[in-house]
Amino acid sequence: MAMATAKTIDPDAIPIVDIGQLRDGSDPGAVAAALHAASQRLGFIYIRGHGIPKSAIDAARASAFGFFRAPEGDKETVRISSRHRGWIGVGGAKMCDEATADLKESFVWGYQNADGRAPADHPLRGENQWPAALPDLEAHAMRYFHHAHDVARHLMRGFALGLDRDEDFFLRTADRPLSRASFVYYPAQPSDAPDDQFGVSEHTDFGVLTVLCQDAVGGLHIKDAKGDWVHAPPIKGTLVVNVADLLARWTGGAYKSTLHRVVNASGKERLSLVLAYDPNPETMIDAREVIGKDPAACEEPITCGDYLVWRFGRAFSYRKAEPTTA
């Protein structure tokens, strides 16, 4: 069977926004307006001026490849924990209920303090797991995490300004964020793979915001407003950010969380550095605070933590699906 394909995207479909003037405060309003406009279309944006040093990206990539190319026994020492920290092997994730398991491996970590500890105060937060065989991985991973998390916080300020809210509106309860980072490794997809096999099957992202650092291999497909799959090719020096489900819910659907997938038809390894930004678990996702008090236009309020537990239970084979709905 043939591998899934996608069209070449219109260059204007995913805008490139330089956030340098948001980060340095010289013209945050102009950047906010550009972010706001893009988020109401496909909800995908290329970001320049993000401020992550190339050295931090290169070191994170090198450590990630070192991990995924290590003997399986080394990876097994940090197999995914009940707190969603560690290694998920091929077949351990399925982002769409009806889909074939994704052809990828992941290594997941999150916030920890200067002593290397993390609070176990929520089902999706706890101690990070670092493989003893790769002693440099922790430092490189945490350096990248902090840089990418700073980008996400700047973007959340920009979204708030674009929605005519105080710039800290989305950051009011973000001192103990549920944010997670992942190294995601896609082996070369066999040319004879079935047509329902993907690096990642079509899905929307669960949380508030995703910050993606692609490599040069490509393979990210986005479903456009016409229902066609289009390529989102790597652009040197940029990140790709996308609105995720909780931000769409928080804005009453004004910002779009769009279906996307990964098809690694390159014949090469593909590696992504991913930051999934989420605020504190108790943060109430309530669109009425953003778009007004009309309950007909809003989904029921839900905490960030409760929503993520529900979605994770459906997506990852190591967790039991929660019987609740959201």
pLDDT single digits (tens) 276-292: 999 999 999 999 999 87
| Per-residue pLDDT tens over the stretch 77-129 | 999 999 999 999 886 554 555 556 678 899 999 998 888 898 889 999 999 99
259 domain residue, yes or no: no
Domain that holds residue 47: 16-237+276-315
249 in a structural domain: no
End-to-end CA distance of the chain: 37
Residue 185, in any domain of the structure: yes
What's the structural domain count of the chain?
1
Are 263 and 219 spatial neighbours (Cβ–Cβ below 8 Å)? yes
User: CATH code at 206?
Assistant: 2.60.120.330
Is residue 59 situated within a structural domain? yes
Whether 311 maps to a domain, the answer reads yes
Segment among 36-40, 143-147, 188-192 with least mean pLDDT: 188-192
Domain presence at residue 180? yes
> pLDDT higher for 57 or 8?
57
The per-residue pLDDT for range 241-256, each reduced to its tens digit, is: 999 999 999 999 999 9
In this structure, of 21-25, 59-63, 317-321, the range with the lowest mean pLDDT score is 317-321
**pLDDT recorded at residue 58:** 98
Is 196 a domain residue? yes
Q: pTM of the full predicted structure? A: 0.90
User: Has residue 262 been placed in a domain?
Assistant: no
